[in-house]
């Protein structure tokens, strides 16, 4: 039986998810629930519906095909009652205006490989394919298979991971991965649980397991005003970098509130807080401190 995984998007010509020009495959499902998540559509492993209000032409086709009567047109308004939605996705095929769309689709390993290899001419020496999410390593065997095939074709491979995955697969994953973009969200154990839903013990354990496998690691540190931009966390970033044997740099990634529209399209309450956006001067000070400690550091825009 073919291995299938839920894919939310295949993004081409990315320059922010590893070196060179890359094709990024976003898998659906994540064990964390970060308060600052800007991709809420990738959190749940099951399929979901996007509803884009501005696209709706009030034709009523969705209401006519939905078996659970979740859609209705009332006083020239489309009312979508998600409380009884079973995510059968019938309404998507009935919508001619793309107001309703499935968040993900199931794809086989062969489908994914065939799709990303269409871009192989652009990878050149530094580019390649990155698996992202959500958390791609919720599907370790599928990821291993995808990356194995790509490696056999000479493609550079990378994984973006939150680090919360089954440790027994670390060695096999490392065997087929050239670069790990590893999230180091917070060094404070209790604060990590408060804002992500899990303690960071397993994450730190997996970080050192992968490092011992000898593959390149980039530490990706999201910086959030009023949360983790303190001296203790900054010093811990430097300490962790120096204890790793194969970390090539630290990426500082400022929090941004750009995911609100996705929350709305999922029928959720937008939750992002502009007060959490870090001040650029404070970010520059953290960057300068890390550099003074001998840490190669890159500050994202």
Residue 124 Cα to chain centre, angstroms: 25
Residue whose structure tokens are 């994540």: 30
pLDDT, the chain, mean: 95
Q: How far apart are CA 223 and CA 278, in angstroms?
A: 7
Show contacts of 253-258: CB within 8 Å, 24+ apart. 253/220, 253/221, 253/222, 253/223, 253/300, 254/222, 254/223, 254/278, 254/280, 254/283, 254/299, 254/300, 254/301, 255/36, 255/222, 255/223, 255/224, 255/225, 256/38, 257/38, 258/38
Determine what percent of the chain is predicted with pLDDT higher than 90.
Answer: 91
pLDDT reported for residue 273: 82
Contacts of 297 (CB under 8 A, 6+ apart): 249, 250, 251, 252, 287, 290, 291
Q: For residues 71-82, give the mean pLDDT.
A: 94
pLDDT band at 258 (very low <50, low <70, confident <90, very high): confident
pTM above 0.85, yes or no: yes
pLDDT tens sequence across 269-297: 887 788 999 999 999 999 999 999 999 99
Higher pLDDT, 258 or 63: 63
pLDDT reported for residue 2: 75
pLDDT band at 1 (very low <50, low <70, confident <90, very high): low
Angle ∠(132,135,139) on CA atoms, nearest 5 = 100
Provide the angle, in degrees to the nearest 10, between the axes of the packed helices 109-116 and 140-152: 40
pLDDT for 76 beyond 80: yes
pLDDT for 172 beyond 90: yes
pLDDT tens sequence across 151-165: 999 999 999 999 999
pLDDT tens sequence across 15-40: 989 999 999 999 999 999 999 998 99
**Dihedrals φ, ψ of 5, to 5°?**
-135, 150
Domains of the chain: 4-45+104-299 (3.20.20.70), 49-102 (3.30.70.20)
Phi-psi bin for 235: left (phi > 0), alpha (psi -120 to 50), beta?
alpha
pLDDT reported for residue 3: 87
pLDDT tens sequence across 43-59: 999 999 999 999 999 99
Q: How far apart are CA 265 and CA 269, in angstroms?
A: 10
Q: What is the dihedral of CA 23, 146, 29, 214, to 10 degrees?
A: -90
pLDDT tens sequence across 82-133: 999 999 999 998 899 999 999 999 999 999 999 999 999 999 888 999 999 9
Angle ∠(139,44,16) on CA atoms, nearest 5 = 70
């Amino acid at each position: 039986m073919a291995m299938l995984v839920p894919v939310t998007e295949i993004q081409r010509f990315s320059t922010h998810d590893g070196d060179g020009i890359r094709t990024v495959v976003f898998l659906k499902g994540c064990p964390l629930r970060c308060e600052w998540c800007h991709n809420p559509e990738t959190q749940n492993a099951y399929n979901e519906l996007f509803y884009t209000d501005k696209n709706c032409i009030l034709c009523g086709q969705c209401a006519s095909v939905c078996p659970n009567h979740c859609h209705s047109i009332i006083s020239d308004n489309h009312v979508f009652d998600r409380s009884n939605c079973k995510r059968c996705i019938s309404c998507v095929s009935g919508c001619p205006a793309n107001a309703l769309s499935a968040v993900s689709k199931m794809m086989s390993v062969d489908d994914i490989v065939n799709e990303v290899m269409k871009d192989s001419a652009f990878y050149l020496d530094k580019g390649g394919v990155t698996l992202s999410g959500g958390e791609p390593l919720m599907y370790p065997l599928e990821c291993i298979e995808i990356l194995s095939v790509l490696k056999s074709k000479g493609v550079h491979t990378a994984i973006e991971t939150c680090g919360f995955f089954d440790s027994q697969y670390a060695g096999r994953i490392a065997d087929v991965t050239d670069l790990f973009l590893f999230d180091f969200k917070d060094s404070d154990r209790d604060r990590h649980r408060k804002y992500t839903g899990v303690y960071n013990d397993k994450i730190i354990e997996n970080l050192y397991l992968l490092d011992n496998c000898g593959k390149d690691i980039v530490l990706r540190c999201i910086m959030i005003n009023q949360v983790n931009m303190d001296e203790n966390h900054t010093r811990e970033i430097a300490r962790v970098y120096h204890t790793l044997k194969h970390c090539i740099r630290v990426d500082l990634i400022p929090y941004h509130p750009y995911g609100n529209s996705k929350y709305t399209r999922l029928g959720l309450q937008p939750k992002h807080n502009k007060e959490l956006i870090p001040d650029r001067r404070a970010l520059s000070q953290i960057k300068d401190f890390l550099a003074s400690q001998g840490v190669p550091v890159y500050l994202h825009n």
